[in-house]
């Protein structure tokens, strides 16, 4: 079928809206009419090739839509169902078999190769193959092919444009706190970077009952939003180059937990150095391929610090997304205050607004 998609052809260049070819879903696949798709910082990291996704590609990995057709072997989802799309996994490796698909041994191949595991792609533009399985979806398009494994069914009256960003940025931030770090009530946590991921971590910290929530971001509007979400202390890293010292001073001996949500290696250093003895830092920001972290070895050893990576908030989307939706409905998880809607045709303006910091989470409405 013919669809409209936004193709990334060159680093740092605008995406190109084009009329292209989408193949029929295979027996185990699902055709989804995309209703909305959030733009995540990771889409831009991939467009710019800091993570080497093969170009040309259709990016987009926070999509939500309506199932249009299912392959002959698909069960559990049917035409007309409203669905949220999330990351993909292989279903066969030791992590997947241990119900930890977020650490799938083939996470990179399943999500960043933008190809099926057999190397094929359902998208072609003027006869040339275009990556069409980015995060098992390639959602910057009017339609996409997904797998039942990376779909979550939602209620028939769900507002898909509101829920779309749950599939990556929001579950990543909230899940890093609620699933991975699991701070006990009264803990002190510092969140570095208040984009969608960091702000969702702040919301997670409030739900976990953290007593002190330090939000670090150079943008005043983002610090203000973090405060309105429940951050107790705000730090502008631009005016305070020694951010780690500032966090430690603020909290006495430091943070029990730190979450790095910027993708800047020096900020990861600050997050670890802001920890109190026995603290744990979760490194979430997408670092450029080949980047290395630097931490003080003596501090790490003598203070018994834990430094760990976290993918997708250790979320099993079929369980965690309905939980977040219920918390939102109960007024306890107001993530929708981060969202700004754009028409699909405005995709480059939406990216520009996110890069300038003018909006937190742009959501494209197809
Ligand atoms: N690990 C995962 O599974 C996963 C999932 C989603 C996103 N990510 C990554 O997480 C990161 C955050 O994503 P996002 O969509 O929230 O991005 P974003 O660009 O919206 O947010 C980043 C924030 O960091 C702030 N910042 C910049 N310099 C800073 C500094 N020195 N100190 C503190 N804050 C600073 C920016 O002002 C911005 O508010 C990105 O690197 C993204 O690629 C990782
Ligand atoms: Zn796997
Ligand atoms: Zn993402």
Distance from the CA of 260 to the center of ligand 1, in angstroms? 8
Ligand 1 pocket, mutate which of 171, 191, 258, 262 (most atoms under 8 A from CB):
262
Q: Is residue 126 part of a domain?
A: yes
153, 177: one domain: no
Q: What is the pLDDT of residues 189-209, one digit of tens each?
A: 999 999 999 999 999 999 999
Query: Above 80 in pLDDT, residue 241?
Result: no
Give the mean model confidence (pLDDT) for residues 83-108.
98
Residues 302 and 339 in one domain: no
pTM of the model: 0.97
The Cα 120–Cα 255 span in angstroms is 46
Residue 51 has a CB neighbour count (10 Å cut-off) of: 15
Domain that holds residue 215: 172-311
Q: Which residues have CB less than 5 Å away from ligand 2 (the ion)? A: 89-90, 93, 96, 104
Q: Is residue 326 part of a domain?
A: no
Q: Are residues 11 and 145 in the same domain?
A: yes
Ligand nearest to the CA of 353: 1
317 domain residue, yes or no: no
How many independent structural domains does the chain possess? 2
Classify residue 320: in a domain, yes or no: no
Say yes or no: 77 and 178 in one domain.
no
Determine the pLDDT at residue 136.
Answer: 98
Residues 247 and 176 in one domain: yes
pLDDT in tens, 152-168: 999 999 999 999 999 99
Predicted local distance difference test score (pLDDT) of residue 26: 98
Which ligand 1 atom is the nearest neighbour of the CA of 270?
32
**Alpha carbons 97 and 61: distance in angstroms, whole number:** 24
- The span from the CA of 205 to the CA of 188, in Å, is 9
Q: What's the average model confidence in pLDDT over 26-45?
A: 98
Exposed, middle or buried by CB within 10 Å (0-12, 13-18, 19+), for 95?
middle
Upper half-sphere CA count for residue 193 (Cβ side, 13 Å): 25
Please name which of 335, 348, 51 lies closest in space to residue 168, comparing C-alpha atoms. Answer: 335
Same domain for 234 and 130: no
Question: Which CATH number fits the domain that encloses residue 68?
Answer: 3.90.180.10
Residue pair 46/113 in contact by the 8 Å Cβ criterion: no
Kindly state whether residue 136 falls inside one of the protein's structural domains. yes
Give yes or no: residues 160 and 204 share one domain. Answer: no
Task: Indicate which atom in ligand 1 lies nearest the CA of residue 311.
Answer: 3
pLDDT at 218 over 90: yes
Ligand 1: residues whose CB is within 6 Å? Answer: 40-42, 45, 168-169, 172, 192-198, 216-219, 222, 237, 261-264, 267, 284-286, 310-312, 357
| Distances from the Cα of 127 to the Cα of 24, 121, 209, 235, 236, angstroms | 16, 12, 54, 51, 50
Rounded Cα gap, residues 287 and 74, in angstroms: 36
d(CA 312, CA 89): 12
Q: Based on the domain organization, do 188 and 307 belong to the same domain? A: yes
The reply to whether 158 and 186 lie within a common domain is no
Question: Residue range 6-30: average pLDDT?
Answer: 98
Same domain (yes/no): 114, 213: no
Same domain, 31 and 113: yes
Q: Residue 141 — φ and ψ, nearest 5°?
A: -165, 165
The residue-averaged pLDDT of 247-265 equals: 96
Atom of ligand 1 nearest to the CA of 219: 37
CATH number, residue 263: 3.40.50.720
In the β-sheet with 128-130, what is the strand arrangement from edge to edge? 57-58, 2-8, 16-22, 123-125, 128-130
Q: How many A from CA of 172 to the centre of ligand 2?
A: 18
Classify residue 316: in a domain, yes or no: no
The predicted model gives 45-61 an average pLDDT of: 96
Q: Is 19 helix (H, G, I), strand (E, B) or coil?
A: strand
Task: Give per-residue pLDDT as tens, 309-342.
Answer: 999 999 999 999 999 999 999 999 999 999 999 9
pLDDT of amino acid 309? 98
Give pLDDT, residue 289: 87
> How much is the mean pLDDT over the chain?
97
Mean pLDDT, range 50-60, rounded to an integer:
96
Assess if residue 145 is contained within a domain.
yes
3-state secondary structure of 58: strand
Ligand nearest to the CA of 179: 1
Give the pLDDT band (50/70/90) at residue 240: low
Q: What is the pLDDT of residues 261-313, one digit of tens each?
A: 999 999 999 999 999 999 999 999 999 889 999 999 999 999 999 999 999 99
Rg (CA), the chain: 20
Note whether residue 105 is domain-resident. yes
Q: Which residues pair with 22 in a beta bridge?
A: 123
Read off φ and ψ for residue 284, nearest 5 degrees. -115, -35
Average pLDDT over residues 42-63: 97
Same domain, 233 and 212: yes
């Amino acid at each position: 079928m013919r669809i409209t998609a936004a193709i990334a052809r060159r680093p740092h260049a605008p995406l190109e809206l084009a009329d292209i070819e989408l193949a029929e879903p295979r027996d185990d696949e699902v055709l989804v009419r995309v209703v909305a798709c959030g733009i995540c910082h990771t889409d831009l990291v991939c467009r710019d090739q800091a993570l080497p996704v093969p170009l040309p590609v259709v990016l987009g990995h926070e999509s939500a839509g309506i199932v249009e057709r299912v392959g002959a072997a698909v069960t559990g989802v049917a035409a007309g169902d409203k669905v949220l799309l999330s990351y993909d996994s292989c279903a066969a490796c030791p992590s997947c078999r241990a119900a930890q698909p977020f650490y799938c041994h083939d996470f990179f191949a399943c999500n960043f190769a933008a190809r099926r595991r057999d190397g094929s792609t359902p998208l072609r533009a003027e006869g040339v193959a275009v990556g069409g399985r980015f995060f098992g979806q390639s959602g910057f398009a009017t339609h996409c092919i997904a797998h039942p494994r990376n779909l979550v069914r939602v209620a028939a009256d769900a507002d898909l444009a509101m829920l779309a960003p749950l599939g990556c940025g929001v579950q990543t931030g909230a899940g890093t706190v609620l699933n991975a770090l699991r701070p006990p009530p009264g803990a002190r946590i510092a969140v570095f970077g208040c984009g969608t991921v960091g702000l969702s971590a702040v919301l997670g910290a409030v739900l976990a009952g953290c007593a002190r929530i330090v939000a670090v971001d150079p943008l005043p509007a983002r610090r203000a939003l973090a405060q309105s979400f429940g951050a107790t202390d705000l730090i502008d890293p631009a005016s305070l180059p020694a951010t780690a010292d500032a966090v430690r001073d603020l909290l006495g001996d430091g943070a029990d937990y730190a979450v790095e949500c910027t993708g800047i290696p020096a900020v990861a250093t600050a997050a670890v150095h802001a920890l109190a003895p026995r603290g744990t830092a979760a490194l979430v920001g997408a670092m450029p391929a080949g980047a290395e972290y630097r931490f003080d070895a003596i501090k790490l050893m003598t203070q018994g610090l834990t430094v760990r990576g976290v993918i997708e908030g250790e979320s099993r989307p079929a369980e965690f997304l309905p939980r977040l939706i219920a918390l939102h409905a109960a007024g306890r998880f107001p993530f929708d205050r981060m969202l700004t809607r754009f028409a699909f045709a405005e995709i480059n303006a939406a990216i520009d607004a996110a890069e300038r910091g003018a909006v937190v989470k742009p959501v494209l409405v197809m």
